[in-house]
Amino acid sequence: MPAEERKAISDYRVIYGDTDQMGVAYYANYLRWFEIGRTELLRQIGMPYTAIEKKGLRFPVIEVSCRYYRPSRYDDVIAIETTLTSLGRATLTFSYRLLRKEDGELIASGSTRHACVDDKGEVAKIPPDLEAVLKAAVSSKS
């Protein structure tokens, strides 16, 4: 799979409820936008999160990083670029770049690391069928 196909791009328009008293998007909303990108990437590679849940598995966030470069404001359209950058036996890491579509300005970047857990919340090895799909989607570029 070429590197370009490994990146999911999702658009999100900042709503008024995303902004704080200063008129900029509240910092924690960026983590929700990461989730939008991650969900769309999984869907794009043929493994929507609902299919993962049907296997009795979940991918809770165990670590998050976000660096803010520029503010986003009400009605900005944000392009969420998401890549799967690493895959372990029971972990996976996604990287994100958030760009303002109007001018291409990088507004934030970050990553999330996830554990694979079963329906009891116990750490579980990623099963071979799911691992194969995810391994094919891992990008060496972030």
Catalytic residue numbers, as ranges:
20
Residue 95, φ and ψ in degrees, nearest 5: -115, 150
The answer to whether 117 touches 123, Cβ cutoff 8 Å, is: yes
Question: Measured between alpha carbons, how far is 99 from 106 in angstroms, rounded to an integer?
Answer: 4
Beta bridge partners of 108: 68, 98
Identity of the residue numbered 6: R
| Cα end-to-end distance, the chain, whole Å | 15
Q: Are 96 and 37 in contact (CB under 8 A)?
A: yes
The two structure tokens encoding residue 97: 């770049």
